[in-house]
Chains A and B, each alone.
Chain A
Amino acid sequence: MTTIDGTRLIEIETPPEEDFDRREAIFRVHDLAVAYGDAVALKDVRLDVYKNSITAFIGPSGCGKSTFIRCFNRMNDLIPSARVSGDVLYHGKDLYASDVDPVEVRRRIGMVFQKPNPFPKSIFDNVAFGPRVLGMDKDLSGRVERALHNAALWDEVKDRLKESALGLSGGQQQRLCIARALAVEPDVILMDEPASALDPISTTRIEDLMHELKRDYTIVIVTHNMQQAARVADMTAFFSVEVSPEGGRRTGILVEYDKTSKIFTTPADKRTEDYVTGRFG
C-alpha cells in the first residue's frame, strides 16, 4: 500500500488468529480517504470489521476516528464539503456506489452519538420514530417494548412512556438512543464515543449493554478511553495523526489494527505502544 506521495506505509496485518478466521467480515475498507474541501482528514485506511464482534477505534484527538466511523453509514454525506474516496464494502457491496441510497444504508447501520440526542418527544415516540418513518408500523408498541428491553431501559421507563424523553438522566437518554437505533432492527450499530458524556456508573451500564448486544449485532465504537476499548472490544484499531513537514497539515492515519489483547500487550508498532502505555496522546 502506498500513499499519495509515494512513500510506503506500514502493512496492516490482517488478524490471523483462530476465531477471527471463521468470522464473516461485515465491512471491508480499502484505501479509504476522507477530505473536507482541500484538507485531508484521514487517509490510507484499510481494515475489516467482523460480524458479532465489537471493533474499537482509539487514538488522539484529530486522528480521524470519528470521521471514519461516519463513513460506515454515510453520515459524512451531510457535510457538503466532505469527500470520501476508496472502498467501503458492506457485505461485499460498495456503500459509495452511485446506485446506493444513503437513506437505505442508514436504516441498516444504526448510530449512537457522543452526546445523547433524544428527540423532544415522549419516550415512546422517540423509539417509535424510526419504525414509523420506515413504515414498520405493525405491532409498534411491541416493537418499542422489545427495543427498550434490549437496551436495558424498559424497567426504568415502562410506567412513563408518554413522558418527555428530555426528563431522563444522561445515561438513560443514551440507552434510549440505543433503543431507538435497535427499534429499526439494524445489522450494525455504530457508537461514536457513546459514554464520554456519562458518569462512571452509566458508562458501565452502556459497556455491559454492548456485551449483550454483540450476540445479535455488530458493533463499531469510537472511544477516547483506552480502558474502555480494552474492556469491551474484540478488535482495536489505533489511529494517529501525521503532520506533514511542509505546512504542518494534520492527517489521520491508521497505525495498527489487531486483536484488542495484542494491541494492548504486544503492539507491533512503536507508536501504538507509546499511546497505550500513556507516553503519548
Chain B
Amino acid sequence: MSSRALKGGLFQAGLLFSLAVGFVTLGVLLADVLIDGVGYLDGTMLTEPPSIDPQIAGARPAILATIYLGALLLLFTVPIGVGTAIYLEEYANRERWYNRLLELNIQNLAAVPSIIWGILGLAFLVRGIGLGRVLLAGALILTLLVLPTVIIAAREAIRSVPDSIRQGAYALGATQWQVVSRQVLPAAIPGIATGSILALSRALGETAPLIMIGAVTYIAFDPTILGPFTALPIQIYQWVSLPQPEFKLLAAGAILILLAILLTMNALAIWLRNRYRRTW
C-alpha cells in the first residue's frame, strides 16, 4: 500500500475511533443504568413519595416538580426569547451602540456557568425579593439560564427566513408588524420550536443552580408553584449519596425516567425539524 493510501486509511480509522468513544461510552452507561434501574421502574416509582424504606420509596414529587418546571420554563422563555430575537433581527438598528452591546451581552450570557446563575437566584430571587426557596424561583432561575440559548436559536431561525420573503410582503403594502407576524414568524417557527425544546431539555437536567437556591432533597408531598420543591436530578443525587445499595438502584430507575423525558423532548425537536424542513 502506498503511503498516501495508508495515511487516508489511518485518518479514517481515527475518525471511527472518535465515533466509537462517544457511542460505546453512552451505550455502556445506558446499559448499566438500564440493568440496575429497570427493576425499580414500577408504579411505586411514579406514584409514591420518597421514603427511608427503599421498597416503598418513589419519586412522585420530583417527577411532578420537573414537569412543572418544564411548563413554567416554556411559558417564560419562549415569549421573552422570541420577542428579544424579533427585536434584534427585525427592528434593531445595528449602527446603534446599545444594540451591539445587547448582542454581545447575550452571547456572553450564554456562556455563564449554571452555578453562577444559581448564586444570582439565591441572592436576587430567594433573598433579594424574598421569593423564598420555592419552585417558582427555580423556574425563574432556569429561565435566565436558558434564555440566551433560546434567543440565539430564535435569531438563527428568523435570520434563515430569506429576505426575498420580507421584500415580497412589503411590496404588497404590508406593514412591518404584518411582515413579521404573518411571514417571518410562521416561517421561523420550526427552528424556534427546535431550539426552545433543546434548551428546555438542557434546563431540566440542571442540578447546580437548583441546589444553590435551595431545592430540598427530601419532599414527601406534591409540589406547588409557591412551595418548596425538589427535582429529578436532585432526587437522583440524593439517592446516590445514601449508604444502602437499594437506593443506588432506585437512583438508576429515576435516571431512566429523566432520560426518557429528555429523549422524548429531543426526539420531538428532531421530528419538528424534519417535518417542517424547507428548501427555499
Query: What residues on A are CB-neighbors of B278 within 8 Å?
Result: 120, 166
| B172 interface residue (CB < 8 Å to A) | yes
| B164 interface residue (CB < 8 Å to A) | yes
Query: Which listed residue (A75, A80, A103, A118) contacts B174, Cβ 8 A?
Result: A103
| B100 interface residue (CB < 8 Å to A) | no
Query: What residues on A are CB-neighbors of B170 within 8 Å?
Result: 75, 78, 106
A9 to chain B, nearest CB (A): 31
Query: Which listed residue (B167, B175, B183, B279) contacts A78, Cβ 8 A?
Result: B167
| B38 interface residue (CB < 8 Å to A) | no
Residue picked from B170, B175, B178, most chain A C-beta under 10 Å: B170
- Contact assessment for A130 and B172 in the assembled complex, using a CB-CB cutoff below 8 Å: yes
Per the 8 Å Cβ criterion, residues 193-238 of B in contact with A are none
How many residues belonging to B are interface residues under a CB distance threshold of 8 Å? 22
- Contact assessment for B164 and A117 in the assembled complex, using a CB-CB cutoff below 8 Å: yes
In the bound complex, CA of A110 to CA of B172 (Å): 6
Interface of B is mostly: helix
In the bound complex, CA of A111 to CA of B166 (Å): 13
Which of these binds chain B: A44-52, A138-146, A176-184, A227-235?
A176-184
Query: What residues on B are CB-neighbors of A110 within 8 Å?
Result: 171-172
| B22 interface residue (CB < 8 Å to A) | no
Query: What residues on A are CB-neighbors of B168 within 8 Å?
Result: 113, 117-119, 177, 180
Per the 8 Å Cβ criterion, residues 188-205 of A in contact with B are none
| B169 interface residue (CB < 8 Å to A) | yes
Q: Knowing A129-B182, A133-B178, say if A117 contacts B173 (CB, 8 Å).
A: no
- Contact assessment for B173 and A80 in the assembled complex, using a CB-CB cutoff below 8 Å: no
In the bound complex, CA of A73 to CA of B224 (Å): 57
In the bound complex, CA of A80 to CA of B278 (Å): 29
| A134 interface residue (CB < 8 Å to B) | yes
Q: Knowing A119-B183, A120-B187, say if A103 contacts B171 (CB, 8 Å).
A: no
Query: What residues on B are CB-neighbors of A120 within 8 Å?
Result: 165, 187, 278, 280
* Beta-carbon nearest neighbor of A112 in chain B: B171
Query: What residues on A are CB-neighbors of B169 within 8 Å?
Result: 119, 129, 133
Q: Knowing A130-B172, A130-B173, say if A113 contacts B182 (CB, 8 Å).
A: no
Query: Which listed residue (A78, A108, A117) contacts B165, Cβ 8 A?
Result: A117
* Beta-carbon nearest neighbor of A116 in chain B: B164
- Contact assessment for A117 and B182 in the assembled complex, using a CB-CB cutoff below 8 Å: no
- Contact assessment for B187 and A103 in the assembled complex, using a CB-CB cutoff below 8 Å: no
- Contact assessment for B172 and A113 in the assembled complex, using a CB-CB cutoff below 8 Å: no
Interface of A is mostly: helix
| A115 interface residue (CB < 8 Å to B) | yes
Contact pattern, A 59-100, Cβ under 8 Å of B = 1, otherwise 0: 000000000000001010010100000000000000000000
In the bound complex, CA of A78 to CA of B91 (Å): 11
- Contact assessment for A107 and B172 in the assembled complex, using a CB-CB cutoff below 8 Å: yes
Query: What residues on A are CB-neighbors of B178 within 8 Å?
Result: 133
* Beta-carbon nearest neighbor of B179 in chain A: A133
Query: What residues on B are CB-neighbors of A166 within 8 Å?
Result: 278-280
B278 to chain A, nearest CB (A): 6
- Contact assessment for A180 and B172 in the assembled complex, using a CB-CB cutoff below 8 Å: yes
* Beta-carbon nearest neighbor of B178 in chain A: A133
* Beta-carbon nearest neighbor of A107 in chain B: B173
A164 to chain B, nearest CB (A): 9
- Contact assessment for A134 and B173 in the assembled complex, using a CB-CB cutoff below 8 Å: yes
Q: Knowing A129-B182, A133-B182, say if A113 contacts B167 (CB, 8 Å).
A: yes
- Contact assessment for B187 and A75 in the assembled complex, using a CB-CB cutoff below 8 Å: no
Query: Which listed residue (B95, B167, B172, B280) contacts A184, Cβ 8 A?
Result: B172
Query: What residues on A are CB-neighbors of B182 within 8 Å?
Result: 129, 132-133
| A104 interface residue (CB < 8 Å to B) | yes
A26 to chain B, nearest CB (A): 18
8 closest cross-chain pairs (CB), A and B: A107-B173, A130-B172, A117-B164, A111-B171, A133-B174, A117-B168, A106-B173, A133-B178
Residues of A whose CB lies within 8 Å of any CB of B are 73, 75, 78, 80, 103-104, 106-108, 110-111, 113, 115, 117-120, 129-130, 132-134, 166, 177, 180-181, 184
Q: List 9 interface pairs A-B (beta carbons < 8 Å), by A numbering.
A: A75-B167, A75-B171, A110-B171, A117-B168, A119-B169, A130-B173, A133-B169, A134-B172, A180-B168
13 additional A-B pairs beyond A103-B173, A107-B172, beta carbons within 8 Å, are: A75-B170, A106-B170, A106-B171, A110-B171, A111-B171, A113-B171, A120-B280, A133-B169, A133-B172, A133-B174, A133-B182, A177-B168, A184-B173
